[in-house]
Chains A and B, each alone.
Chain A
Amino acid sequence: MKPLLTVRNLSVTYPTRTGIVEAVRGISFELGRERLGIVGESGSGKSQTGRAIMGLTPPPGIVRADTLSFSGIDLTQAGPAAWRDMRGSRMAMILQDPKFSLNPVMTIGRQITETLRRHENVTKREARRRALEMLEAVQITDPERVFGLYPFEVSGGMGQRAMIAMMLVCGPELLIADEPTSALDVTVQLEVLGILDRLVRDNGMGLIFISHDLRLVSSFCDRVLVMYAGRIVEELATADLSSAKHPYTQGLLDCTPRIGESRHPLPVLERQKEWAA
């Protein structure tokens, strides 16, 4: 089967006053209709990778790739209008904190129907019906009420569900979730992840799950890419996580505390210069 997304030698660079900053330095991977996790610390380029795939690299960033193809479409040749038509309808992205990523002066319902009406020729009533359906699909018990609420009137978990509804209402094939649960409470995290998991499975979407939480990613994804300083340093199935070869991954795994074991002090990651080479 052809992969949904093929990335070959992708790089993202930013020209600055003090020289060129390489945020992503030539990474390659493929994604089928599966759940792929990308983990890495702040500044490792994981978010930049997600944004580059969406065509959302902010200027003056430059994206280069030998291949960047999404279900047969060559994204390196896509113009801004073509990108726009794909975003929201065929590929979508969930951001970190619903407190900031939802427009504060628009009701939740309106923000969901906006996605629909942008990409599909639907009547107002039809859009409303589908938005309510979508709110129900993200397990909001009283969609009618939430539809008319403003983002500040709902909790973080509720807001993130609204965000998921807004991004999935057109049924995209690829979803990029950029730290979707980092801003949420631990208990709410699991709920939101559960909802995300079910929707991804049911609709046969490809998911790129970007996180700094290796444990979360390994419990949720089929495969993990570990990024460090703009490169992929390790790629493995989550089942094989314990047999990670790269010292960075091993170091990360080693730092996690385990229940029933007292290790004082916890080992600390010791960075080696050659990892970033």
Chain B
Amino acid sequence: MTAIEASKPARRRRARGLAVNFGRFAIMLATTVLGLLAVTFFIGRVVPIDPVLAIVGDRAPAAVVERVREQMGFNLPLWQQFVVYLRQALTGDFGVSVLTTNPVMDDILRVFPATLELATVGTLIGAGLGVPLGVVAAVRRGSIADQIARVIGLIGYSVPIFWLALLSLLLFYAKLKWVAYPGRLDVAYEYTFTPITGLYLVDAAWTRQWDVLWDAFRHIILPGALLGYFSLAYISRMTRSFMLNELGQEYVVAARAKGLSEGRIVWFHALRNAAVPLVTVIALSYAGLLEGAVLTETVFSWPGIGLYITNSLQNADMNAVLGGTIVIGSVFIAINLFSDLLYRLLDPRTRAR
């Protein structure tokens, strides 16, 4: 085995493996997005809502209806309609929202950052606390700490989040006045602060408006913590089971035989191995939050994409619904690819092939 492999340095082999992976990623991405668009197109044709009538109204004369139908391309064969749809979707043109009269893309660019910010804060809290909690529960299996972690997790995914949201608003806003009222910013700032990216925490820090940053923080912390708790419940249970698996491996015995401290064995050796499957779990939970936590967004009047799509759906605004679906689907695909990439980075075994 030495002669042949020695002529081909391991590093170069790994680099080539990575290039092949990127190629595979690209193909996978293209086919998945195509599938997503096909599904949304299909849904758009199947739902019993006539997009022409939605625009001209049901009292328009037949001639007008026919003209608008032609303008919108609904007289073309289905496959031509799909091609047009593809071209529009790929250039970010999802049509105009009937409800807001804005192009759907503009609306989404406005509401998606709100969801992105909330989901990111939630995931940071969820993973930041959930992983250590799961590790401790695994290391002290069967102890009081493990039982407490189990109860925390159980409550997290069995209590309805809107109920918890209302109660926590009552406690932390109405009674204790620790956090701000629902919404993203105080009214005072809402008209003076111009967002750049739409992520208020980032924008405020970037423009050094510390008072705005503090205000945005006071608004996001409660919904963020709730979503964080929700994902913590899942992440901590998964961490515990991955860690139990790793701590039973032989290399842990070997690490002990080397005289390493328990801390290093748990937090470095075992967690580093458990991190490989954990990345997927955290990414999926993040993607779940990015779909828009409708209930949380409703209770906290958070103008995110979940609220936007729900509103559009209730008003039969198909362009907005399908546009939102495509964006969420794309985000989901992107996060999946990203976690796959991270997985490969963390696990050398998947890199070689």
Q: Among B259, B269, B273, which residue has its beta carbon within 8 angstroms of that of A118?
A: B259
C-alpha gap A105/B11 in the complex (Å): 15
C-alpha gap A138/B250 in the complex (Å): 22
B299 interface hit (Cβ, 8 Å): no
B218 interface hit (Cβ, 8 Å): no
A149 interface hit (Cβ, 8 Å): yes
B316 interface hit (Cβ, 8 Å): no
A153 interface hit (Cβ, 8 Å): yes
A115 touching B259, Cβ below 8 Å? yes
Q: Among residues 127 to 175 in chain A, which have CB atoms less than 8 Å away from a CB atom of chain B?
A: 141-142, 145, 148-150, 152-153, 155, 158, 163, 166-167
A211 interface hit (Cβ, 8 Å): no
Least distance between A145 CB and chain B CB atoms (Å): 6
Find chain A residues with CB under 8 A from B272 CB: 103, 105-106
Least distance between A130 CB and chain B CB atoms (Å): 15
Least distance between B244 CB and chain A CB atoms (Å): 13
B254 interface hit (Cβ, 8 Å): yes
B261 interface hit (Cβ, 8 Å): yes
Find chain B residues with CB under 8 A from A149 CB: 10
Whether A101 contacts B253 in the complex (CB less than 8 A), given A145-B6, A150-B349, A152-B349, comes out as yes
Q: Among residues 111 to 128 in chain A, which have CB atoms less than 8 Å away from a CB atom of chain B?
A: 114-115, 118-119
B42 interface hit (Cβ, 8 Å): no
Total count of chain A residues near the partner, CB < 8 A: 37
Q: Among A87, A96, A150, which residue has its beta carbon within 8 angstroms of that of B259?
A: A87
Find chain A residues with CB under 8 A from B256 CB: 56, 87
C-alpha gap A102/B250 in the complex (Å): 8
B331 interface hit (Cβ, 8 Å): no
A93 interface hit (Cβ, 8 Å): yes
Nearest residue, chain A, Cβ from B276: A105
B68 interface hit (Cβ, 8 Å): no
A103 touching B251, Cβ below 8 Å? yes
A86 interface hit (Cβ, 8 Å): yes
Nearest residue, chain A, Cβ from B346: A105
B254 touching A102, Cβ below 8 Å? yes
B352 interface hit (Cβ, 8 Å): yes
C-alpha gap A106/B247 in the complex (Å): 16
Q: Among A100, A119, A142, which residue has its beta carbon within 8 angstroms of that of B2?
A: A142
A181 interface hit (Cβ, 8 Å): no
Q: Among residues 295 to 353 in chain B, which have CB atoms less than 8 Å away from a CB atom of chain A?
A: 346-349, 352
C-alpha gap A181/B6 in the complex (Å): 26
Q: B interface, how many residues as a size bin?
A: 20 to 34
A222 interface hit (Cβ, 8 Å): no
Least distance between A73 CB and chain B CB atoms (Å): 14
B208 interface hit (Cβ, 8 Å): no
Find chain B residues with CB under 8 A from A87 CB: 256-259
Least distance between B1 CB and chain A CB atoms (Å): 6
Q: Among A92, A97, A106, A148, which residue has its beta carbon within 8 angstroms of that of B250?
A: A97
Which of A88, A89, A97, A119 lies at the interface centre, i.e. has the most chain B CB atoms within 10 A of its CB?
A88
C-alpha gap A56/B259 in the complex (Å): 10
C-alpha gap A141/B6 in the complex (Å): 11
A196 interface hit (Cβ, 8 Å): no
A105 touching B6, Cβ below 8 Å? no
A141 touching B260, Cβ below 8 Å? no
Find chain A residues with CB under 8 A from B276 CB: 105
Least distance between B79 CB and chain A CB atoms (Å): 48
A153 touching B352, Cβ below 8 Å? yes
A150 touching B348, Cβ below 8 Å? yes
B259 touching A86, Cβ below 8 Å? yes
Find chain B residues with CB under 8 A from A152 CB: 348-349, 352
Least distance between A110 CB and chain B CB atoms (Å): 11
B255 interface hit (Cβ, 8 Å): yes
A95 touching B254, Cβ below 8 Å? yes
Q: Among B10, B11, B259, which residue has its beta carbon within 8 angstroms of that of A85?
A: B259
Selected A-B contacts with CB under 8 Å, 27 pairs: A56-B256, A87-B257, A88-B257, A88-B260, A93-B257, A95-B253, A100-B250, A100-B251, A101-B251, A101-B253, A103-B251, A103-B254, A103-B269, A103-B272, A104-B273, A104-B347, A104-B349, A105-B346, A115-B259, A118-B259, A118-B260, A141-B2, A145-B10, A148-B10, A148-B11, A158-B1, A167-B258
9 closest A-B pairs (Cβ-Cβ)? A88-B259, A87-B259, A100-B250, A88-B258, A93-B257, A101-B250, A150-B348, A101-B254, A103-B251
Residue ranges of A at the interface with B (Cβ–Cβ < 8 Å): 54, 56, 84-89, 92-93, 95-97, 100-106, 114-115, 118-119, 141-142, 145, 148-150, 152-153, 155, 158, 163, 166-167
